[in-house]
Amino acid sequence: MTFLEHPCKYFLKEMSMSRDVLRKYIDLVNEAQDFADMGLLNEKWGTETKVSAAEKGKYKGRTLADLRKSYAALKRSGPHKRGSAEYGRMRELAFAIRAKTGWGEV
């Protein structure tokens, strides 16, 4: 028996979970799905983000390897205090790397 065939039976047998614990888990999953279906989890920013025209496309001509190299160099020279120029640059580079990798991890 695999998880994909019978997830509930799999957990009961393999993980030795009691039926009560499993039932609570299933209820939580269903409740989370209900919230998502009702649109209660659609969070938005409180304010509109404004980016200056000079900042848009700042890293457009740079390759992913260049961005990662710059990020690694800044990381080696850190840690940087929040609010410092270096900290801001690392955040920008991390954002650019995520954008170029299809919103994956840095």
Q: Would you write out the chain's pLDDT as a tens digit for each of its 106 residues? A: 555 666 666 666 655 657 777 788 888 777 777 766 666 556 666 777 787 888 888 888 899 999 999 999 999 997 889 989 999 999 999 989 988 888 766 5
Helices (H), 1-106: 7-14, 19-38, 64-76, 85-100
Which pTM was predicted?
A: 0.52
Same domain, 72 and 95: yes
CA distance 80 to 51: 23
Total domains, the chain: 2
Report yes or no: 76 and 88 within 8 Å, Cβ to Cβ.
Answer: no
Domain extent, residue 23, equals 7-38
Please count the residues of the chain: 106
Question: How high is the pLDDT of residue 72?
Answer: 93
N- to C-terminal Cα separation, the chain? 38
Same domain, 30 and 60: no
